[in-house]
Amino acid sequence: MTTESPTMRAVIQHSYGRPERVLRLDQTARPSPGKDEVRILVRATSVNTPDWATVAGEPYAVRLQSGLRRPAHPVRGSDVAGVVETVGPGVTDLQSGDEVLGSLWGGSTGTFAQYTVAPAAQLVRKPAGLTFEAAAASVMTGLTALIAMRDVGQVHTGSRVLINGASGGVGTMAVQIARTLGAEVTGVCGPRNVELVRSLGADHVIDYTKQDFTQQEQRYQVILDNVLNHSPKAVSRLLAREGVFIPNSLGNNGGLLAALPRMARALLLGRLGPTNVKFVTLVVSHANLNALVNLLETDEVKVIIDRTYPLDQAADAVAHVLNHHAAGKVAIVV
């Protein structure tokens, strides 16, 4: 008779700083599912902006939420793809052995681990044709892009959409989703990713090393800014009448506040001026997850994975994203 181990391997963060200094693979208690939750054997996860920001502790404002001296919850990661191992009380739509994808967004556990616990309401079954790596890499960035294009920007046939940071995790998904909605898409990225962004369906691609996109004469119904490397006023100048400006970045420079002042100026621009500024609120629901899965199943949208790392190299995975040069997503295989 075998006895279930009470511990598991997980990547633990004990302080803030460079990933290679503060992330360590260690043993920790295996979580137990509560009411309406399931325990998942994690097969893959991915690195998102909240992960690298919490590891670095920058901008410092993140420490107000996660902990002043160290993170209150030491395991990073929110996207998950894996196999349901145990279901908690009240769960009726999932059972042991189901392959699932989803998010722990808003919870206290993490996914850089062998096992995790997630609300059943934030999981859906993984399509058989979708790899665990692609499934895990699709969730936060895919939902952010979907909500930004479909709900916030209300993109439709004939909309002109500009996406700054078109080669990143959110950007690669947003380009494709905007195209499925019938938009004419302009992507802004660096020179090494021009062909990638074009291959995803962008009608026009601007290499930011050759052209300042804020100086063009074209006007757009929707601008999704994943970088915030220009002033909100300069970017909003490109909006068509009744266009929507969607700022969506913590910035690439770290430091005390990073891009938060520009986010604040964008907010004021909308509150005090004529600019229509809206933000993306991530909603992890069955409806949104299923809408994303439908796009992935029909091959209208594909997940771009820059690199894949094993769990014991999670620090390297976070460092790669922290350098802000990943094209698409970085996945971690458990």
What local confidence, expressed as pLDDT, does residue 325 receive? 78
Cβ-based neighbour number of residue 100 at 10 Å: 22
Nearest Cα to Cα of residue 243 among 218, 268, 226, 262: 218
Nearest Cα to Cα of residue 166 among 182, 149, 181: 149
Q: Please report the beta strands in 7-98, taking only residues with DSSP state E, as ranges in sequence order.
A: 7-13, 23-29, 37-46, 79-87
- Architecture field, domain 7-138+284-333: Alpha-Beta Complex (3.90)
Q: How remote is the C-alpha of 92 from its chain's centroid? A: 28
* Assigned CATH for 154-277: 3.40.50.720
Q: What is the pTM of this model?
A: 0.94
pLDDT in tens, 217-265: 999 999 999 998 999 899 999 999 999 999 998 765 555 555 667 777 7
Residue 106: band (very low, low, confident or very high) from pLDDT cuts 50, 70, 90: confident
**Inter-helix orientation angle 169-180/286-297, to 10°:** 80
What local confidence, expressed as pLDDT, does residue 108 receive? 82
Rounded-to-integer distance, Cα 169 and Cα 174, Å: 9
Rounded-to-integer distance, Cα 175 and Cα 137, Å: 16
Domain locations along the chain = 7-138+284-333, 154-277
What local confidence, expressed as pLDDT, does residue 1 receive? 42
| Whether residue 145 has pLDDT greater than 50 | yes
